[in-house]
Amino acid sequence: DAKKLVRSPSGLRMVPEHRAARSPFGLDEPPWVPDKECPRCMQCDTKFDFITRKHHCRRCGKCFCDKCCSKKVPLPRMCFVDPVRQCAECALVSQKETEFYDKQLKVLMNGATFFVTLGTSDKSELMVCRLSNNQRYLVLDGDSHYEIEIIQISTVQILTEGFTPGGGNTRAIGMILQYKVPGSEEVTQMKFTAGEDFSCNKKLSASWLAAMHKATKLLYESRDQ
């Protein structure tokens, strides 16, 4: 998908030429709190004057003094080219998301192998599951081929094993995914199960499921914006 470089009050952004091609995990830039509505820092309540300048957080759009909004942190969910100024709270969230974009997104794109069961069928098919490079589709390849649009996914339930009442470690072994068929209100369910044989790398499958769990959280956040 073609992209273009645009300049906003917050900084340079590399965005898709067409909005329909944007990543489902992306966030829109927030409107800035107008200067006239912000005589004081919205964190520490310091009054703004000629010495104490006001700054806007690029993630939440609120107004802060330099001490409360000094960090410049990458914000790939808004497609910024360079790290941008964020308040302490938003910077912490963005830093946590960095792991997803630096590591887990690559895991999803590389894919993993699962036994996939469609609907109420009692038959499963061995398929390689991966996220498309534009992040818009979940692609499943085996004897069959499916492309599920990420924005059509309604629920994702990660299946685990190993839980104990004492708080023992759990391991992701599969997931149940529900999505709407484009052009209708019909909901389809797929069950993904990691293979038990040596040819299906359990560690890789567990890492892929963990990344999918994080991706689902970001997807829900994007919808709630």
Mean local confidence (pLDDT), 11-34: 90
Mean pLDDT for 88-114 is 93
Confidence of residue 203 (pLDDT cuts 50, 70, 90): confident
Rounded CA separation 4/24 (Å): 18
Over residues 141-179, the pLDDT tens digits come to 999 999 999 989 999 999 888 755 555 567 788 999 999
> What pLDDT score does 36 carry?
92
Fold adopted by 111-224: PH-domain like (2.30.29)
pLDDT at residue 197 is higher than 80? no
In the chain, pLDDT over 70 holds for what percent of residues? 93
CATH architecture of 3-107: 2-Layer Sandwich (3.30)
Q: For 122-145, what is each residue's pLDDT tens digit? A: 899 999 999 999 899 999 999 999
Tokens representing residue 117 in the block: 């069961």
On the 0-12 / 13-18 / 19+ scale of CB atoms within 10 A, 41 is buried
- Asked if 129 and 146 touch (Cβ cutoff 8 Å), the reply is no
DSSP states along 37-50 = G-SB-TTT-PBP-S
* Residues 153, 175 contacting (CB under 8 angstroms): no
Domains of the chain: which residue ranges?
Answer: 3-107, 111-224
Would you say residue 196 has pLDDT above 90? Answer: no
- Predicted confidence band of residue 198 (pLDDT cuts 50, 70, 90): very low
Closest CA to 75 of 27, 146, 123: 27
pLDDT band at 183 (very low <50, low <70, confident <90, very high): confident
Cα–Cα distance between 128 and 149 in angstroms, integer?
A: 16
Could you say which DSSP state residue 76 is in?
G
Query: What is the structure's pLDDT at 190?
Result: 94
CA atoms within 13 A on the CB side of 137: 13
Question: pLDDT averaged over the chain?
Answer: 89
